[in-house]
Chain A
Amino acid sequence: MSRPSPKLLSCQELACRRGGRLVFKGLDFALEAGGALLLTGPNGSGKTSLLRMLAGLSPPVDGRILWRGAAISRDFAAHHARIQFIGHQDASKPNLTARENLVFWTAMRGGSKSGADAAIETFRLDKRADWPCRYLSSGEKRRLALARLLSSPAELWLLDEPATGLDARARSVLLAAIEAHRRQGGCVVASTHVPLRLNRAKNLSLAEFMVRGPA
């Protein structure tokens, strides 16, 4: 057995293809415990694709994704247990109440109802918690999706445009949640178009790795 690497998450020579077109290639980065990585880049530069690869939803065409030095493709079930992926869709059901939605997602990760209630309070959804989700504004639905991060713990947070539609107060709640997660040794990878003020966060501009022209 090799010594456990201090790097939690690392990528080597990663390449991504979408719809037959090479989007980016030669992507390398590494994150240690408590690290945060902000993905920036123009539309279509592959931010969402990279997050989906890190989640193990789609395989990279080239390169490797490692967790503590071991390829995530060796055991996707274990990888899924350690991540929380919040995509750009909110995955909430319009006919269930906010609380029912969150309790469901929490239960699916083995969490408890009290965890869900606490997360609802942190994201200031308590007044809306028993409303069907179809009556929630898009910012509130976003907060509900983000509340999943707090209701059941995971080591790696993968966030696709987490701050979209959030007001200033909700954004500061999100940032505080991310910082608390990092203090406990967790990792965050987030794509963003708006600046997210995180301490010592690495920036990765996907524009540098974009493949231009026919490939």
Chain B
Amino acid sequence: MSEFAALVRRDLNLAFRQGGDWANVAAFFALAVILFPFGVGPEPELLSRISAGVLWVAALLAALLSLERLFQSDWEDGSLEALVLMPLPLELQVLAKCLAHWLATGLPLTLIAPLLALVLHFDTAGMGALVLAMLLGTPVLSLIGSVGAALTLGARRGGVLLSLLMLPLYIPVLIFGVAASEAAAMGFTPRPHLLLLAALLAGSLALAPWAAASALRQAME
């Protein structure tokens, strides 16, 4: 398993040395959310009503922003070719890269979400559920995203294609993420929605690395 750890460590190392990628994602998320009160007006009731939706839509778009780079730079400099030939199965390598991607993007998003929720007058009763839902939902974004990133590898204007491919697949995360956060804010139990998010996570953990790995092998031929 030390190979798995080595790959996660390298990708994290690269993410923090380059800085741009993950800082971009967090900044986009923060800006998009902060702009909303200016756009729709500062009434607390209105903001509080749309807050969960705004947070999730912004988080989803922010995650999408960084996806294109997931395999792109490895593909351009020949690293991907070398990685495919490593003894560690490609499926596990995809999983390692998704974990690093989530640690560099999804986790920061989850951590700043409660602060931004306050800006939108999100009911503090729902804060726990919001964080929990993001902890379950953002890894799904990285995992499903890896399939799209692998499929669009080498395509010209892959970014546009990637967004078109990914957005429909992200909608279940959006729906259950918002539902969990809103249910808790309104005093209902968020449990069923969190369980559905957990199911999405379990499903994509099992399927996405496998699908992305075969797409990468295709891209290598």
Q: CB-CB < 8 A to B89: which residues of A?
A: 77
Asked whether A104 and B6 contact (CB < 8 A) given A93-B77, A96-B13, the answer is yes
Residues of A within 8 A of B79 (CB): 91, 93
Q: Is the CB of A91 within 8 A of B78?
A: yes
In the bound complex, residues from chain A placing their C-beta under 8 Å from that of B83 are 108
CA distance A85 to B81 in the complex (A): 9
CB <8 Å contact, A108 and B88: yes
Q: A26 on the interface (CB 8 Å rule)?
A: no
| Contact B2–A57 (Cβ < 8 Å) | no
A-B CB contacts (within 8 Å), total count: 70
CB distance from A67 to the nearest CB of B (A): 14
Would you call B17 and A89 a contact (CB within 8 A)? no
A96 touches B10 (CB 8 A): yes
Q: Which residues of B are found within 8 Å of A77, using beta-carbon distances?
A: 87, 89
Residues 102-130 of A contacting B (Cβ, < 8 Å): 104-105, 107-110
Task: Give Cα distance in the complex from A18 to B38, angstroms.
Answer: 55
Chain A 75-109: CB-based contact to B (< 8 A → 1; otherwise 0): 00100110101011111110110001000110111
Minimum CB distance partner of A106 in chain B? B6
| Chain B stretch 99-130: residues in CB contact (< 8 A) with chain A | none
Contacts of A56 in B (CB 8 A): 85
Give the bracket for the number of chain A residues in contact with chain B: 20 to 34
- B221, A59: Cβ atoms closer than 8 Å: yes
Asked whether any CB of chain A lies closer than 8 Å to the CB of B82, the reply is yes
Contacts of A91 in B (CB 8 A): 77-79, 81-82
Q: Report whether over half of chain A's contact residues are helix, strand or loop; otherwise say mixed.
A: loop
Is the pair B81, A57 in contact by a Cβ cutoff of 8 Å? yes
Check B220–A57 contact: CB distance below 8 A.
yes
Q: How far is the CA of A89 from the CA of B83 in the complex (A)?
A: 13
Indicate which residue in A57, A59, A90, A100 contacts B85 across the interface (CB closer than 8 Å). Answer: A57
Number of interface residues, chain B, beta carbon within 8 A: 24
Q: Are A89 and B78 in contact (CB under 8 A)?
A: yes
Question: Which residue of A has the minimal Cβ distance to B87?
Answer: A81
B50 within 8 A of A: no
> Is B7 close to A, CB under 8 A?
yes
CB neighbours of B82 from chain A (8 A): 85, 87, 91, 105
Residues of B within 8 A of A57 (CB): 81, 84-85, 220-221
A90 near B77: Cβ-Cβ < 8 Å: yes
Is A5 an interface residue when CB atoms closer than 8 A count as contact?
no
Q: Verify if A55 is at the interface (C-beta below 8 Å from B).
A: yes
> Least Cβ distance of A93 to chain B in Å?
6
| B14 CB within 8 Å of chain A | yes
Residues facing A in B38-92 (CB within 8 A) are 73, 77-79, 81-89
Point out the residues of chain A lying under 8 angstroms from B78, CB to CB: 87-91
The docked-state distance in angstroms from the alpha carbon of A109 to that of B83 is 10
Is A58 a contact partner of B87 (Cβ separation < 8 A)?
Answer: no
Question: In the complex, A88 Cα to B82 Cα: how many Å?
Answer: 11
Q: How far is B85's CA from A93's CA once the two chains are assembled, in angstroms?
A: 18
Contacts of A88 in B (CB 8 A): 78
A12 to B7 alpha-carbon distance, docked (Å): 37
Chain A residues close to B by CB (< 8 Å) = 55-59, 77, 80-81, 83, 85, 87-93, 95-96, 100, 104-105, 107-110
